[in-house]
Amino acid sequence: MARIALTLAYDGSVFQGWQTQPSGRGVQDHLERALSAIAGAPVATICAGRTDAGVHALRQVVHFDTAARRPSSAWVRGVNAHLPAQVAVRRAVEVDPDFHARYGAVQRRYRYLIHRSPVRHPLLAGRAGWVFRDIDAARLRDAALCLVGEHDFSSFRSSECQAVSPVRRIDRIAVVEQGAFVLLTVVGNAFLHHMIRNIVGTLLMVADGRRDVDWVQQVLDARDNRGVTPPFSPN
């Protein structure tokens, strides 16, 4: 058996998230069907981290095991020929048997592009999160500081989260402004279900002046997701 690692990119707006779905509309469903067609046998995949419906991926890492011996071009161009236009294998490489896309991941990165405008822009739909209020990037940075480090993120997890432990480590939160856009990047060892979407929704309430900067620390310390703001849009 060979273990193959793939790097994927996909437009999440047309899928029901990464994970396989009864409807067959998860990214995993499409990928496994395409891989099976090339392998000539059923293929099961494991990814570095699940994504919600509507969330895009630039470098999603996936691995699978197969007895089929194929050139790397078959796992890229061949598989892509069986995939929808909105998802593509960008790279394929044979890895050591102990490689694991999920448990071996050292860091994960989640990026939010936020569009500040009184009126939504139709060409940015599904590409940027829209806010009609003015966003102060300096307040956004200040509010995010308390979230860096290892914490119990119970306040920011979904009620449907199945993770055994709510403790996660955020290594960095970066905020970059460019005209009407704000790029928010969160880097950490792993994320809980809806954790980043809830964090962004909370930080934006500070950035637009609806809450004080120290409110984020209070939310974190509460370890109770009943008081968290609604999750921000997936993109």
The catalytic residue positions are 52
> CB under 8 Å to 118, separation ≥6 — which residues?
132
* Residue of 76, 62, 65 lying closest to 104 (CA atoms): 62
If you write DSSP's letter for every residue of 68-79 in order, what string do you get?
----HHIIIIIH
Cα gap 65→4, rounded to integer Å: 6
- List strands edge to edge, sheet with 45-47: 45-47, 57-66, 2-10, 87-95
Q: Which of 219, 199, 141 is nearest to 175 (CA)?
A: 141
The burial of 30, by beta-carbon neighbours within 10 Å (0-12 exposed, 13-18 middle, 19 or more buried), is given as buried
Residue 86: which of 62, 112, 55 has the closest Cα?
55
